[in-house]
Amino acid sequence: KRMKSDLPKVLFPLCGRTLIEHVVDHARQAGFEKIVVVVGHGADQVKAVLGDTVQYALQAEQLGTGHAVMMAKDHVQSKHVIVLSGDAPLLTPDTLRAMARHHLDRSAAATVLTAVMENPERYGRILRENNAPDGRVTGIVEEKDANPEQLMIKEINTGTYCFESGVFSLLADCGRSGSGRQNAQGEYYLTDALAAYYQAGKTVTAAILADPHEGDAPNNRVQLAETARVIQQHILEELMLSGVSVVDPHNTYVDITAKVGRDSTLMPGTIIEGSTVIGEHCQVGPYTHLKNVQIGNDVV
């Protein structure tokens, strides 16, 4: 709704891929062999983009994040499961691997990926024993439910988790017993799983992001443009480190799906989109727009 569009948010284009394609690609690069995408609104559109590269679980009724995770139960046979948001494209494969190691090394039942923000507005806050920075995680409180003291907490929930596979039964029990919170729409919070594990004496941990903005998910088109700028900077930096000259990075746009050969130069105003391939020792631009084309070596 915040995007003011009929298109599902996860399908918004971002530097040559949709938001969810970035997430799926990073999960695959992190080494996660089985990827299950929970679909609801716009399910057919999502399936048309991702195809048979992933498995799907249908959430016919939109009953919240906890309910969405429960829908994937029949697809999961592993001992642990990582839960990712389909609209958070900045989390890197290295971060996902580090989170999984953190979870396994501590024999945790649940791990939440957190960030420390100077301005934590809009985010759920991480609750710890004795309010100590190194205290055990006891739960998560949503901003609208937080008291004044909790609103002062700067450690926030990024919406990324690692659980032992018993989380599916735990969520079902929360629903049956009524111990899980419900909002006005009757939705269940996935965050309640952390408090339930803590109350059961299980280990609940937090893996803290070094870059607090890596967990950002764009909620409107202004934030989408900011996210695109971050990804575009990474794309151009990788090109330059691989031997491509970019004369004016602030005025050059290259999709993540495009390839540029070493010793080539991208002049100001260059836009390279889609599956474009540019050979070695080429000069492109200034002010050239290429999309889905192939260019050989030594072309100006």
The catalytic residues are 2
Q: Are 85 and 181 in contact (CB under 8 A)?
A: no
**What is the SS3 assignment for 208?**
strand
C-alpha radius of gyration, the chain, whole number: 21
Strands 110-116 and 155-164: antiparallel
Q: How many residues does the chain have?
A: 300
Q: Measure CA 19 to chain center.
A: 8
Q: Beta partners for 162?
A: 82, 111
Show the tokens assigned to 61: 């009724």
d(CA 185, CA 201): 31
Helix pair angle (93-105, 19-29), 10° resolution: 50
d(CA 105, CA 16): 36
Q: Are 236 and 253 in contact (CB under 8 A)?
A: no
Residue with tokens 């960030």: 115
Furthest C-alpha separation in the chain: 69
Residue with tokens 């057919």: 44
Closest by Cα among 119, 116, 82 to 214:
116
Show the tokens assigned to 203: 């280990």
d(CA 89, CA 185): 28
SS3 content of the chain, % helix, strand, coil (to 5): 35, 25, 40
